[in-house]
């Protein structure tokens, strides 16, 4: 049974007929070719599939595509607007990544974190990112990147 859904992905309208069991992460990666969103643990723990759904960071491996019907989705591909988003630039400047696998989800979570708390303390940043696992950096440079981005964005 196919279900018709309409959503806005990175500002562009998308209409699809999908199987109810299709996960949002698979819709993005396999149907729409937006492979910036990664699937890591596939058990809602690692956060590498994090996207913004109506402005909130969610794990797209644990959302059905049909649940996103009528919603706005932003993936890592939708953040840059001619130039890097300040969070992307801050990750670049502060070496906030090594292998890069967790980075798209991590950056989306960091954007969400600053949206709800524009000037987080170091402790609030570390606590706020508990839903995203990075096995390379030890998080220190990610925290520095978020602090740098907060400074830029509060300009």
Partner 1 sequence: MYPSKFDYHRPSSVQEAVQILADNPDAKVLAGGHSLIPVMKLRLAAPAALVDIGRIDALQSISRSNGSLRIGACVTYNEIANSADVQAAAPLLAEAAGQIGDRQVRYRGTIGGNLSHADPASDLPAAALALGATLHVAGSGGSRSVSASDFFVDLMMTALQADEILTEVEITAAGAGTGSAYVKFEHPASGYALCGAAAVVTRDAGGSCTGASLCFNGVSATAVSAADAASSLVGSDLSDGAIDSAVSGMSIPDATGDMFASAGYRQELARTLGAQALRTARDRA
- Applying CB under 8 A, the residues found at the interface with partner 1 are 1, 3, 19-23, 26, 42-45, 47, 50, 53, 56-59, 62-64, 66-67, 109, 112-113, 128, 130-132
* Residue in 5, 31, 7 with CA at minimum distance from that of residue 20: 5
Minimum CB separation from partner 1 for residue 67, in Å? 6
Nearer to partner 1, 62 or 98 (CB): 62
Beginning with the edge strand found earlier in the chain, give each strand of the sheet holding 3-9 in spatial order: 12-18, 3-9, 72-74, 50-53, 56-59
The strand pairing partners of 17, in sequence order, are 4
Nearer to partner 1, 9 or 110 (CB): 110
Query: What is the spatial distance between Cα 115 and Cα 32, in angstroms, rounded to a whole number?
Result: 27
Instruction: Tell me the two tokens of residue 100.
Output: 């890069």
Nearer to partner 1, 32 or 113 (CB): 113
51 within 8 A of 73, measured Cβ to Cβ? yes
Minimum CB separation from partner 1 for residue 83, in Å? 27
Minimum CB separation from partner 1 for residue 139, in Å? 14
Nearer to partner 1, 54 or 93 (CB): 54
Query: What is the spatial distance between Cα 101 and Cα 134, in angstroms, rounded to a whole number?
Result: 8
Minimum CB separation from partner 1 for residue 82, in Å? 28
Nearer to partner 1, 30 or 92 (CB): 30
Helix (H, G, I), strand (E, B) or coil at 111: helix
Minimum CB separation from partner 1 for residue 30, in Å? 11
């Amino acid at each position: 049974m196919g279900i018709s859904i309409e959503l806005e992905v990175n500002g562009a309208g998308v209409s699809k007929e999908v199987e109810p069991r299709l996960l949002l992460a698979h819709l993005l990666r396999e149907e729409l070719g937006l492979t910036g969103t990664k699937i890591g643990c596939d058990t809602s723990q690692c956060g590498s599939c994090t996207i913004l759904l109506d402005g909130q960071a969610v794990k797209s491996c644990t959302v059905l595509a049909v649940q996103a019907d009528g919603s706005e989705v932003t993936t890592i591909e939708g953040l840059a607007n001619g130039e890097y988003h300040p969070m992307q630039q801050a990750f670049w400047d502060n070496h906030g990544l090594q292998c890069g696998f967790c980075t798209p989800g991590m950056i989306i979570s960091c954007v969400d974190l600053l949206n709800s708390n524009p000037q987080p303390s170091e402790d609030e940043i570390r606590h706020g990112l508990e839903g995203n696992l990075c096995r390379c950096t030890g998080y220190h440079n990610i925290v520095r990147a978020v602090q740098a981005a907060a400074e830029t964005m509060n300009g």
